Structure 1
Amino acid sequence: MNRSVTLFTGQWADIPFETVCQKAKSFGYDGLELACWGDHFEVDKADDAYCENKRKILDLYGLTVHAISNHLVGQAVTDRIDQRHKSILPAYVWGDGEPEGVRQRAAQEMIRTAEAAKRLGVNIVNGFTGSPIWHLIYSFPPVTQAMVDEGYSDFATRWIPILDHYQKLGIRFALEVHPTEIAFDIASTRRTLEAIDHHSAFGFNFDPSHLGYQGVDYIGFLYAFAKKIFHVHMKDVAWSKVPTEAGVFGGHTEFGTLGRNWDFRSLGHGDINFEEIIRALNRIGYKGPLSVEWEDGGMDREHGAKEACEFVRRIDFPSSNIAFDAAFEK
């Protein structure tokens, strides 16, 4: 298929931008998906000159960029804000930490992110939305349907004005469907789309790892939302086939702890069926990048990133343009 293979820089934000470019090129990547933290892509600095300089450095290493990602700020737009957010947000978005003020500043920053993306020359912003109702995920004390409805209404009220700006700019927002977000499986994704009347600027950054360990049909997700797949993360996860000490909710354990039901893995070392993902992407006509989001607490990241690039190139086969038995007709 010759889809671009890119590296998401979110897990490399401790390394300067140009060093990441050098490493990504040496690992074999075609380009980068730039995280809006560290010095990789700073929204508050992203004027025309800044974006031109980023492009020059990317060009120097023969790298492309198809998307930027602002998961951290997006999370704060509809979340229940607490001290956790202070550690992930720019100081100018956190401000005094008053929750509604944080949400409003986060919303404005997501609009500025779209404007910066346009100056950089990309039309996809990946990210999170946060959720006002994630804390209601388990229904005890009993959660009424009215409470859930109110959460989706709040999400729509906060995100539709942002999405309207994206639409005017020709930028699309791609939510990474994920626990803690307004959409975290197929059922909640359908409800999310209904809440915003299937807004044309809103779609998905498909990441199978967050669906697989939940027991969600991640291949079915691609077919259910084929027209809304704006971007793809290649990320693996392994989950236990036997009972464990810490279940799907994690037991308040750290990643990598023995006895967990699941953990992220370097590509090809987990349980995600990437061949079926490629077949599904071929069927739905997805031609965008395959972006490696590398996470594996048990493996050196440089070894893993290089191996992951090779894995994606090997697995990304083109679809056939003929019927395999057509030759028999002759």
Structure 2
Amino acid sequence: MRTIKGPGIFLAQFAGDAAPFNSLDSIADWAAGLGYKGIQIPSWDGRLFDLRLAAESKTYAQEVTGKLAAKGLAVTELSTHLQGQLVAVHPAYDAQFDAFADPAVRGNPAARQAWAVEQMRLAAQASANLGLTAHASFSGALAWPYVYPWPQRPAGLIEEAFAELGRRWRPILDAFEDAGVDVCFELHPGEDLHDGVTFERFLGAVDDHPRANILFDPSHFVLQQLDYLAFIDHYHTRIRAFHVKDAEFRPNGKSGVYGGYQGWVDRPGRFRSLGDGQVDFKAIFSKLTAYDYAGWAVLEWECALKHPEDGAREGATFIRDHIIRVTQHAFDDFAASGVDDDLNRRLLGL
């Protein structure tokens, strides 16, 4: 077993135009000051990071890692959640997702997808140049408008959606294979990969590609009412990244899983700051440790109520206190009687 690395923090929800959140130097100082040991970098945010330069210049990548190391920080993963989303977009969402893309390709779905694929290839090489082994992303979605089977779905619709998703992602996964980096899909509502069954469908479409893996985020499973602890038992060999995010689900006489189109404060299922929700993190950290999870525990702050800076400050301590420093010997070693082959045979009546 290995001790989980952390605490880390995903910077996407904190980056902004005001100091200290508007440059990698200053936001890294802020994170280190709170006690974080790693940062997950949103690769689309030019205020913090130049993805193309990191892919094309090992010198730049080494400058980034060196600068962070001097502050006591490491890069946990790069994130391409926005770019990965654009690998597969159903036309119903064209207008909403257009803002995720470079302005030059907006309004042109084919050009936007090609741009997204190139971004993913850059992310593979940039991750390698940074010395990373895992990468965080979304799968995108073609079938999501049909998630509820009414009207009745025509035969073969979902099969074709996943076949096409596989065709789009296979060359990207191959690029990550060449780079020696795992793609860790965050299983998330709005993505075709949103639970274990859909992840298995995708694996079937990409021939169980070794680089197709999981970013485990229990908060999304609370909102779906999926057993997130049993999920770890099923898929621990594919879990290569971990977002530590809390959530709660409090159904009532008026609204349940679907939320009634309400805002986040009023939805029965909503995200919360660490320790304010219902997720059993003690059990999660225990299971991941027992299964020898080798990656980072990274805070993703999303809360309908609490200020983000308070959530970040509390989150560092919360994660640190949940990380289990693994033992190097069994608790009952004091009573060990040593190795005696003759004794073992006598005890077995042999």
Place the TM-score, normalised by the shorter chain, in its bin.
over 0.9
| Counterpart selection for 2:100 from 88, 99, 117 | 88
Kept in 2, the 8 Å contact 1:72–1:88? The answer is yes
SS in 2 for 1:6: strand
Corresponding residue for 2:284? 277
Q: What CA distance in whole angstroms lies between the structure 2 residues aligned with 1:2 and 1:183? A: 25
Q: What CA distance in whole angstroms lies between the structure 1 residues aligned with 2:206 and 2:174? A: 11
Corresponding residue for 2:49? 41
- In the alignment of these two chains, the number of paired residues is 325
| Counterpart selection for 2:74 from 35, 55, 64 | 64
Q: Which amino acid aligns with 2:264?
A: F
User: Could you give the per-residue CA deviations for residues 237-267 of structure 1, whole angstroms, max 9, x where no partner exists?
Assistant: 0110x415443223222222x3x11111111
User: Could you give the per-residue CA deviations for residues 218-254 of structure 1, whole angstroms, max 9, x where no partner exists?
Assistant: 11111211111111110000110x4154432232222
Q: What CA distance in whole angstroms lies between the structure 2 residues aligned with 1:2 and 1:278? A: 8
Corresponding residue for 1:316? 323
Shift of 1:286: 0.5
More deviation, 296-305/163-172: 296-305
Answer yes or no: is 1:10 the counterpart of 2:17.
no
Kept in 1, the 8 Å contact 2:173–2:209? The answer is yes
Q: Which amino acid aligns with 1:179?
A: P
Question: After the TM superposition, which residues 1-330 of structure 1 pair with which residues of structure 2 at under 5 Å, given as runs?
Answer: 1=3, 3-14=5-16, 15-16=21-22, 17-38=24-45, 39-46=47-54, 47-48=56-57, 49-81=59-91, 82-92=94-104, 95-240=105-250, 242-243=251-252, 245-256=254-265, 258=266, 260-320=267-327
Q: Which amino acid aligns with 2:11?
A: T
Shift of 1:327: 5.8
Residues 40 and 325 of structure 1, relative CA distance in 2, 3 Å threshold: same
Corresponding residue for 2:342? none
Computed over aligned residues only, the root mean square deviation of the Cα atoms, in angstroms, reads 1.9
Kept in 2, the 8 Å contact 1:124–1:173? The answer is yes
Q: Which amino acid aligns with 2:52?
A: D
Q: What CA distance in whole angstroms lies between the structure 1 residues aligned with 2:304 and 2:27? A: 19
Kept in 2, the 8 Å contact 1:134–1:181? The answer is yes
TM-score by length of 1: 0.92
Kept in 1, the 8 Å contact 2:249–2:270? The answer is yes
Computing the radius of gyration over CA atoms, which structure comes out larger, 1 or 2? Answer: 2
TM-score by length of 2: 0.87
Shift of 1:182: 1.9
Shift of 1:195: 1.6
Q: What CA distance in whole angstroms lies between the structure 2 residues aligned with 1:136 and 1:249? A: 14
Shift of 1:320: 5.0
Percent identity of equivalent pairs = 29
Shift of 1:144: 2.9
- Return 5+ residue gaps in structure 2 as ranges: 338-350
User: Could you give the per-residue CA deviations for residues 74-129 of structure 1, whole angstroms, max 9, x where no partner exists?
Assistant: 0010121411112222324xx14222222222112111111122222222211001
Kept in 2, the 8 Å contact 1:244–1:261? The answer is no
